Amino acid sequence: MSAVVLIGCFADTDLLKASALRIPLYLERVSAGFPSPAQDYVEQTLDLNQLCISHPAATFFVRVQGDSMRDAGIAPNDVLVVDRSLEARHGDIIIASINGEMTVKELNTTPHLCLMPRNPAYPVMLITEASDFEIFGVVTNIVRQMRR
C-alpha cells in the first residue's frame, strides 16, 4: 500500500511571496521524440510556487512510501502537492485516512465508494458506513527527483 508522510505545510501566503525564486522558462519545448535545436531565448520566468500551488493556505506536501500508485506515475519518495480546498471528485488522486491509516489512492464514487490502487498487486479499498474514512485533500502535482 502507498502510504504518505507529511513533510510540510504552507499556512501563510506571505511565506510564499517571500520565498519566490524565479527560474527561466524557455519558449522552446523539449522534444520527447526526435531532438530539435534548442532556442537561446527565455519566454519568461517561472516560480514553481505559482505553477504548483493555487491555494497556499490550503496546500501541503506529502512524501510517498510504497508502490500502490505506480501506474498513475506516482513512485516511492515522490513528493505530492495536495490541495485541501478542492472538493474531491470521481477519478481524483486523493490523500485519505481509512481506519486510521493514511494513504494515497484514486477516488472512485461509482458504482460504490472505494479507493483504487493503481497497481494490480494491491486490492481495492471499499468504503462502507462502518469505515472510519476522511479525505485530506486532492493531489494536484508530483515533484520527483530524477537523480536519486
Would you list the DSSP string of 36-96?
-PPP--EEEEEEHHHHH-S-GGGEEEEEEESSTTGGGT--TT-EEEEETTSPP-TT-EEEE
- Residue appearing with cell numbers 469505515: 131
Contact 113, 148 (CB under 8 A): no
The DSSP letter of residue 88 is: P
Which residues participate in catalysis according to the annotation?
A: 68, 105
- Judge whether 102 and 60 are in contact, CB under 8 Å: no
